[in-house]
Amino acid sequence: MIVNYDANLIERHRRPWLWKKRRWSDHDNAAYRRIALQLNYDLPKESAARSVLVATPAPCPFSAAGGVGLASSLEQELGRPVLLIDACPARQELSRMLTGAEMEGWADLLRDPSRSLESLVLRTSSEHLRFLPAGTTRHETPGSEGVEARLKTATAIYDFVLAFGGSVLNDTSSLALLPHVGCVLLFVAENETRIEDLEAAQEALALCKARNVRVVLTSPHRGKADLASQAESQRESRPRAIPRLVPE
């Protein structure tokens, strides 16, 4: 079943911003908060699968920033431990964004069952948000049993697990997570995602028996009218900082 979320996210994040002093606008915060609260309601604590896979039909330059924004909102709204995983070793968009590229992480856990999850998880500047990089192995297809075991370990430690899987049509390694997550968020960019790509991605998710697929409609471009209408309210507000990695 496809349930549509209209996130109404209206800014594309083009520049590397981890060590910059860029901040989310109130509009960004509100959009991600709405999804975070809905996920908390749809996947209650009694559920054994408080885990989400974030993906896009085709490669999309702003999707990694969307994953970080949603993870940050989950942590802020729940006040509980949240783990953000870069589950796309081939591209490592999220890891590069958080300066964790080429560090050991998700792929290394799947390759070596003796490795401890907590030994590879990185702290961030958000109190309850932790990050697991993509890892150093890029082109191995993960086995379903290994993925299931690692997700079970993660959900036992963290209140919510959010995995960023990249493109459904291009980054097929993340499809191994589909049977084991409680929800799939398919980010669709208004006026950018092609209908044929969306339909192909939905077919692929159906073939892989993905559960609870929700299409998140996003608007990555901010127009001049939008900027003008929101400028006053943003000047009066104090937007939240984007999380960053914290050196041990």
- pLDDT at position 125 is 85
Helix%, strand%, coil% for the chain, nearest 5: 40, 20, 40
**Residues of the chain falling short of pLDDT 70:** 1-29, 47-48, 138-143, 220-248
- pLDDT at position 225 is 34
- pLDDT at position 53 is 94
Secondary element (H or E) of residue 123: strand 122-123
**Contact present, 146 and 177 (Cβ < 8 Å):** no
Domains of the chain: 2-14+22-236 (3.40.50.300)
Please provide the average confidence, as pLDDT, over all residues in the chain: 76
- pLDDT at position 16 is 30
- pLDDT at position 158 is 94
Secondary element (H or E) of residue 74: helix 63-78
- pLDDT at position 222 is 45
Q: Is 44 helix (H, G, I), strand (E, B) or coil?
A: coil
- pLDDT at position 189 is 83
pLDDT tens-place string over residues 176-193: 888 889 999 999 888 888
- pLDDT at position 140 is 64
- pLDDT at position 247 is 56
- pLDDT at position 242 is 53
